[in-house]
Amino acid sequence: MARSRSTQLLRHAGEKLAHLGHRYRKLNVRDLPAQALLHVQFDDPALRDALAQVAEAEAVVVATPVFKAAYSGVLKSFLDLLPQDGLAGKLVLPLATGGSQSHMLALDYALRPVLSALSAKHVLPSIYATDAQVQWDGDNGILLDLAIAARIDEGVERLSASLIALREVSDALFEPVPFSQVRCSV
Amino acid sequence: MARSRSTQLLRHAGEKLAHLGHRYRKLNVRDLPAQALLHVQFDDPALRDALAQVAEAEAVVVATPVFKAAYSGVLKSFLDLLPQDGLAGKLVLPLATGGSQSHMLALDYALRPVLSALSAKHVLPSIYATDAQVQWDGDNGILLDLAIAARIDEGVERLSASLIALREVSDALFEPVPFSQVRCSV
Amino acid sequence: MARSRSTQLLRHAGEKLAHLGHRYRKLNVRDLPAQALLHVQFDDPALRDALAQVAEAEAVVVATPVFKAAYSGVLKSFLDLLPQDGLAGKLVLPLATGGSQSHMLALDYALRPVLSALSAKHVLPSIYATDAQVQWDGDNGILLDLAIAARIDEGVERLSASLIALREVSDALFEPVPFSQVRCSV
Amino acid sequence: MARSRSTQLLRHAGEKLAHLGHRYRKLNVRDLPAQALLHVQFDDPALRDALAQVAEAEAVVVATPVFKAAYSGVLKSFLDLLPQDGLAGKLVLPLATGGSQSHMLALDYALRPVLSALSAKHVLPSIYATDAQVQWDGDNGILLDLAIAARIDEGVERLSASLIALREVSDALFEPVPFSQVRCSV
């Protein structure tokens, strides 16, 4: 698990978000009880907590490996448990890693329609990294290709700016909202 | 599980195949050990058996409910475990059920590219049924809308004809092959 | 042309935008010189003007009929002429009409990835109407199904709010920008 | 036009088909009258002839450049003119060329669903070549990367075998059919 490149990419994005002043929580779908996830046991406390995390988030960063030209089945199993409008009002930043450049379009052709079906308010431009661009660095995590690191910086900054803009609109029109809670889902 | 419309549709297609003289085995992905499926435990006997079933099949009928505008995460979790060319040489007939007509294209836009990525020899025209077209009939199974029943008949006959044609080509060019084993995966 | 439902839907959205105080220009791709469009003659004045319209717009409302499970070839021929980042910084609202509910996903699975490839800043939730929901009303235009009319109102209001929010962010960070020019492309 | 890589790839596939004993005709969509194509003038003789070519073919090899993460608008404009079941009973081999490996999935995610919507009997595995794999060779045409040349050989042989198998089934069940006429469409 810890050896998943997409999880590491997600951790990296989370740290950047924290650096920009946002709170976030990590959610590793693979750590959820498999039985509860696949058999839709909404009374499982871990599952319920994970779904509540998504429900409360203002933004969700989703990361997935690309398998068989699409998002992972595990990620989709979790998204299947969200309510129909489970991403309504939320910003989403999609990340993925894959064996080669050939599968880059899997994010926009496969994952994005699912995020749209979940009524995401705004799906930001996707970021795709090949395995070669995300190298393992001993026990310290990952070494990112400079181009990918720059794209993630840009993506996270764009997400941050959109969150702040949304909050200002909310402030102006409605009551103040608490400090943003960005949560990440793998 | 038994109450899944797509599983019932699959059972129906299996019976039609048997009627046309083909052997088949059922494979209900939801019955596989969840832990082994999600954590890729290839040493699990049930999982190993399921993967062997697919490996040995000449044709695979795949059925899925449409959730969030795409195939189910459970199905994709199983497909993720197949080898890269896990459907090479095989015929595939995709079936799906969904809440409304609006999600019909999920089969061709979402599932078909995954089946292509698995090197399927030939993915036959997809068949999509709305929940209203697959009614529960007490404990006896399902009542199918006539148009859907006809489409499944046609799809199964086409699959059968393609299997026979493939076998004749093989007979002519190579050694005889055993009687077709069609297996169904949910 | 005037008898195209998607063009009428676009006109309707344009009027709503005007009502909310936005300027817009119409662009009917079918009115462009066919030879120049298909043979990429950038020196054609009408084509050059159309491309400049898109370049200058802050937002683009795109409307297309669904043919063969995807956007029209004419629309794609025009999008093919835009620069690689031809929608960068722009908001996009996709609309479509189709013969039946079955082709609803064509917008999210087919058009949206193309808009993403053009670097659209934000593609708003798509709106799909069946032909039955867009009835001809003599020479006066169209009669919209109430649910569709409400979805367009909501979509246009969301587009308007996003435009205003973007402009406020720009005002704060950079110099003032002129009043928004929303242009519509068929 | 002659300088289009996808057209050259198509010519190459046509020659391989001829070598295997199949007749074929070329159809360059860009050579059709632009006005007739975009304005759906079915009384145009060149357009009528092109549509008849497709109608009579047993197999269609389709080649397209990838623009904006999808097939070209010109190709789609032509496909839009085919009847709803315009590829029924036909085999289809999709080819594409693109600037980089990143757009490989455009064939399976974008073109294949359109071919399915046209009721293609069987869409063979797609072949995608990057521009670097299709080099210009002075006035003599193209130099193909060996891997791509091998994939096209394999694709054309598979198409040929499927055509022959189909014909044998037809021979057995129905009356004899004339020698296959494979036509290529760009």
**Chain A residue with the nearest C-alpha to that of D101:** A102
Provide mean pLDDT across the span D91-106.
96
Cβ separation D108–B112 shorter than 8 A: yes
Average pLDDT per consecutive 10 residues, chain A (186 residues; last block may be shorter): 81 95 95 95 97 97 97 98 97 96 97 98 96 86 93 97 82 43 43
Token digits for D70? 């999808």
Of A119, A123, A169, which has the smallest distance from its Cβ to C165's Cβ?
A: A169
Q: Is the pLDDT of residue D1 over 60?
A: no
Contacts of A118 in chain B (CB under 8 A): 68
What's residue D169's pLDDT? 66
Distance CA C77, CA D77 (A): 8
The pLDDT tens digits of the residues spanning B122-131 come to 999 999 999 9
Q: Is the Cβ–Cβ distance between A27 and A33 less than 8 Å?
A: no
- Contact residues for A146 (Cβ-Cβ < 8 A; gap 6+): none
Cβ separation B113–D125 shorter than 8 A: no
Cβ separation C110–B109 shorter than 8 A: yes
Q: Is the pLDDT of residue D73 over 70?
A: yes
Contacts of A103 in chain D (CB under 8 A): 104-105
The pLDDT tens digits of the residues spanning C153-177 come to 999 999 999 999 888 766 655 433 3
As a three-state string, the secondary structure of C43-95 is CCHHHHHHHHHHHHCCEEEEEEECECCECCHHHHHHHCCCCCCCCECCEEEEE
Query: To 10 degrees, the CA torsion angle through C94, C97, C99, C101?
Result: 50
Cβ separation C76–D78 shorter than 8 A: no
Q: Is the pLDDT of residue B176 over 70?
A: no
Of B112, B125, B161, which has the smallest distance from its Cβ to D112's Cβ?
A: B112
Token digits for B104? 């019909």
DSSP state of A104: T
Cβ separation C69–B105 shorter than 8 A: yes
Strand pairing class (D122-123; D59-65): unpaired
Distance CA D164, CA B171 (A): 15
The pLDDT tens digits of the residues spanning C67-102 come to 999 999 999 999 999 999 999 999 999 999 999 999
End-to-end CA distance of chain B: 11
Cβ separation A38–B34 shorter than 8 A: yes
Distance CA A20, CA A23 (A): 9
Average pLDDT, chain A: 90
Contacts of B84 in chain A (CB under 8 A): 68
Cβ separation A113–C109 shorter than 8 A: yes
Note whether A108 contacts C: Cβ–Cβ < 8 A: yes
Of A34, A78, A109, which has the smallest distance from its Cβ to B39's Cβ?
A: A34
Contacts of B106 in chain C (CB under 8 A): 105
Note whether B104 contacts D: Cβ–Cβ < 8 A: no
Note whether C168 contacts A: Cβ–Cβ < 8 A: yes
- Using alpha carbons, select from D95, D121, D98 the residue that is nearest to residue D108: D95
Q: Chain C interface, mutation test: which of B71, B102, B105, B126, most C Cβ atoms within 10 Å?
A: B105
Q: Is the pLDDT of residue D180 over 60?
A: no
Distance CA D32, CA D11 (A): 18
What's residue C168's pLDDT? 76
Q: Chain D interface, mutation test: which of C66, C67, C116, most D Cβ atoms within 10 Å?
A: C67
Cβ separation B77–A72 shorter than 8 A: yes
Note whether B102 contacts C: Cβ–Cβ < 8 A: yes
Radius of gyration of chain D, Cα coordinates, nearest whole angstrom: 16
- Using alpha carbons, select from D42, D142, C106 the residue that is nearest to residue C114: C106
Note whether B136 contacts A: Cβ–Cβ < 8 A: no
Note whether B74 contacts A: Cβ–Cβ < 8 A: yes
Q: Is the pLDDT of residue B171 over 90?
A: no
Token digits for B103? 């999600």
Q: Chain C interface, mutation test: which of D72, D77, D78, D102, most C Cβ atoms within 10 Å?
A: D77
Strand pairing class (A142-144; A134-136): antiparallel
- Contact residues for A7 (Cβ-Cβ < 8 A; gap 6+): A1, A28, A63, A186
Token digits for B54? 């697919």
Q: How far is CA C163 from CA A62, A171, C179, in A?
A: 26, 17, 10
Contacts of B160 in chain D (CB under 8 A): none
Burial class (CB in 10 A: 0-12, 13-18, 19+), B119: middle
Q: Chain A interface, mutation test: which of D100, D102, D131, most A Cβ atoms within 10 Å?
A: D102
| Chains near B (3 or more Cβ pairs under 8 Å) | A, C, D
Supply angle C-alpha B140, B144, B146, rounded to 5: 145
Cα dihedral sign for C172, C174, C176, C178?
A: negative
Strand pairing class (B142-144; B134-136): antiparallel
Distance CA B60, CA B79 (A): 12
Contacts of C72 in chain D (CB under 8 A): 76-77, 80
The ipTM is 0.90
Q: Is the pLDDT of residue C111 over 60?
A: yes
Amino acid at D178: P
The pLDDT tens digits of the residues spanning C117-161 come to 999 999 999 999 999 999 988 776 889 999 999 999 999 999 999
Size of interface A-B (CB pairs under 8 A): 94
Distance CA A132, CA A127 (A): 15
Provide mean pLDDT across the span B39-60.
97
Q: Is the pLDDT of residue D2 over 60?
A: no
Contacts of C169 in chain A (CB under 8 A): 161, 165
Q: Which residues pair with D63 in a beta bridge?
A: D95
Q: How far is CA C144 from CA C8, C97, D51, D107, in A?
A: 10, 12, 35, 36
Q: Is the pLDDT of residue C55 over 80?
A: yes
Note whether B88 contacts D: Cβ–Cβ < 8 A: no
Cβ separation D105–A101 shorter than 8 A: no
Of D109, D122, D166, which has the smallest distance from its Cβ to B113's Cβ?
A: D109
